[in-house]
A and B are shown apart, each in its own frame.
Chain A
Amino acid sequence: MPVAKKKIRVLGAKPGLDGHDRGIKVICCALRDAGMEVIYTGLRQTPEQIVQAAIQEGVDVIAMSVLSGAHDYLFPKVMELLKKAGASDILVIGGGIIPEEDVPSLKDVGIQAVFGPGTPTMDIVRFIEENVSQ
């Protein structure tokens, strides 16, 4: 019998002031249905709060969603704080309304993948399963 694998722990996060939470909630439900343990931060989280929650909860993944255009400030800030906290092993992915041309610079700071509108939730499940380090 295969050894039961430890469940992947994910923090679903809404950094900044954006109130659009349909996407992140749907993704949280889908990840949960795929067998992951999901903690959702709720709205209006500062980068500091997100990093603190991720460390406290011992998550393997942070999935952030921003639809307000503030990803250019908020995503790199989260990455910077993670690095400072020595938690760079956490897999970080992002999504929302993010122009294609912004993606390379987000990847440069360590965001592993950026998922835009219309992404099937199964693609996100698969990406996490293939890239998470546990």
Chain B
Amino acid sequence: MYDAKKLKEIEKSLAAWAKKTLEILDKRPEREERFETLSGIPVERVYTPLSTPESDYMKDLGLPGSYPYTRGVQPTMYRGRLWTMRQYAGFASAEASNKRYKYLLEQGQTGLSVAFDLPTQIGYDSDHPMARGEVGKVGVAIDSLRDMEALFDGIPLSKVSTSMTINAPAAILLAMYVQTAAGQGLDSEKLKGTIQNDILKEYAARGTYIFPPAPSMRIITDIFAFCSGNIPMWNTISISGYHIREAGSTAVQEIAFTLANGIAYVEAALEAGLKIDDFAPRLSFFFNAHLDFFEEIAKFRAARRLWAIIMKERFGAKSPKSLMLRFHTQTAGCTLTAQQPQNNVTRVTLQALAAVLGGTQSLHTNSMDEAFSLPSEEAVQTALRTQQLIAYESGVANTVDPLGGSFYVERMTKEIEESAQTYIDEIDEMGGAVTAVEQGYIQKEIQESAYAYQKAVEEGHRIVVGLNKFQDEEVPPKNLLRVDLGVTESQVAKLKQLKAERDNIAVDSAIGKLKKCAQGSDNLMPPIMEAVKSYATLGEICDALREVFGEYTAVSTL
């Protein structure tokens, strides 16, 4: 970007400045001997045009909405439309969660994000022995289409987009959503939303897997194929770094492992015979917004550039939409402290700001009380207001990629891109992300980073305000949200009633067809749709698939 003569001049001045500065350092040393980002990337005293000497503006950055999308995926970004404010929510019963969704929409939220309870996520009905104690706890319990209908009762699905954090049974919940919309008279072609549907990070970091990798990858590619014909506006997957980061990874590992997983899904789909530009435009991503402000902004920009290059160079995608990395962001839950919880509002503000400056398409801001329990309504409101403040008061949404061109941010973007690429190459050599997970490589890498971070905090190398510095007397918070064990009883009663009222012959026939399909190679979505429509339960459908596919056993890395 600079001519050689100008760079030489800067180099000369910088050398003189460094010499002078070193003299001062003898008398007044800096706070640290070595500065580094949260992920351990060294940070220089100052960045100049010399920090990215090879930089080619049009090649590396380009313009907003153009390859390689470093500056953002849309030409006008938030000047056109703000990011979607989407708070992840769900607890207890469909009825209780429906009330919370209506509250959030009234408060100005612009999209829904459904949290399911663990039995739903792992394919157990609420009356299963493994579900004991877990029903309705971390999300809403959905046993059948009947619960799904109650969940969206009175919410026009033509007007909202809905994101569902569901992975192993994603096909089933998607089928329930389509049926619920049909009940509202809405055609599936008009549906907007996302299913997480990212099984690889479940094996690596989040834990809600059911089936082994091979049939899981088949279900995922079946969903890609089905949606491209039937639900064209649906995001068929949200390839997630969020949970990898929460499990303890660094920023570089977060995007490296996520993009490696992305590559694995693309390869699986190509192998299944799909055409790249038919499914790639509907792939979406999900990242974490952590503490180190500039590192995070650089991470989002690097991820966009890397993915664009991968899709273009490696997979030969032609459609611009295939090259765009669109992503949702959530602030880092693992950074919330139980100590002085009000400080979490400030943490979340900084993290949310980083996500916006990094060009996110949608955002969830955590609530201050989440180190104790699911958030209360009051805490959620503050979290949502934080986004609204950034959007409407701070002015940061008025221009595209405001930090583009910052010597530091550009250098950091480059560095994260290169380090992540090194990891991706390593995973490629191992045989890809599926093999890397099966061998426990990803898990081990994350685990080591997590332990190193914990040690840094305990040794005082990392300051956590209110935890290992500036401590204060702690007062346990009040007004926490509680989900009592009573939800189980009402879900179990509903299941009993459902099984007594539905056409059980139709259910058996649908389940039989599903099993047969699973044994063959036809697309699983049509028989899943039929089973859902017959009011077969989530557990019944998953059991049928368990019978054919078997279950995944985790590798031990400890």
Asked whether A29 and B451 contact (CB < 8 A) given A17-B122, A19-B206, A22-B248, the answer is yes
- Give the interface centre of A22, A28, A72, A99 by most chain B CB atoms within 10 Å: A22
Q: How far is the CA of A16 from the CA of B134 in the complex (A)?
A: 7
Whole-angstrom distance between the Cβ of A110 and the nearest chain B Cβ: 18
User: Does A100 reach chain B (CB closer than 8 Å)?
Assistant: yes
A122 within 8 A of B: yes
**Do the beta carbons of B373 and A73 come within 8 Å of each other?**
no
Chain A residues with CB under 8 Å of B138's CB are 18, 68-69
Residues A1-20 near B (CB distance < 8 A):
12, 16-20
Contact A117 B338 (CB under 8 A): yes
Interface majority SS (helix, strand, loop, mixed), chain B: loop
B interface residues, how many (CB within 8 angstroms): 44
Do A118 and B454 form a contact, CB below 8 Å, given A17-B122, A18-B207?
no
> How far is A18 from B450 in the complex, measured between Cα atoms in Å?
18
B372 and A97: CB pair below 8 A? yes
Could you say which residues of chain A place their CB within 8 Å of the CB of B132?
Answer: 73-74, 77
**One of A12, A77, A117 near B371 (C-beta < 8 A):** A117
Once the chains bind, are B554 and A43 in contact (CB under 8 Å)? yes
- Is B374's CB within 8 Å of the partner chain A? yes
Across the interface, do B450 and A17 meet the contact criterion of CB distance under 8 Å?
no
Q: Complex Cα distance A4/B4, Å?
A: 69
Contact across chains for A118 and B339 when beta carbons are under 8 A apart:
yes
A132 CB-CB contact with B under 8 Å: no
User: CB-CB < 8 A to B447: which residues of A?
Assistant: 25, 29
Partner of A18, one of B118, B129, B248, B476: B118
Q: Does B521 interact with chain A (Cβ within 8 Å)?
A: no
Structural contact, A17 and B118, CB atoms closer than 8 A: yes
**Residues of chain B contacted by A16 (CB below 8 angstroms):** 118, 133-134
| A residues lining the B interface (CB < 8 Å) | 12, 16-22, 25-26, 28-30, 38, 40, 42-44, 46, 68-70, 72-74, 77, 97, 99-101, 116-118, 120-122
Cβ-closest 9 pairs across A and B: A19-B207, A73-B133, A17-B118, A70-B133, A100-B476, A69-B137, A40-B558, A117-B338, A70-B134
In the complex, 20 of the A-B residue pairs with CB atoms within 8 angstroms, ordered by the A residue number, are: A12-B558, A16-B134, A17-B121, A17-B122, A18-B207, A19-B207, A20-B207, A20-B246, A22-B248, A25-B451, A26-B454, A44-B130, A69-B374, A69-B483, A74-B133, A77-B132, A97-B372, A117-B336, A117-B337, A121-B454
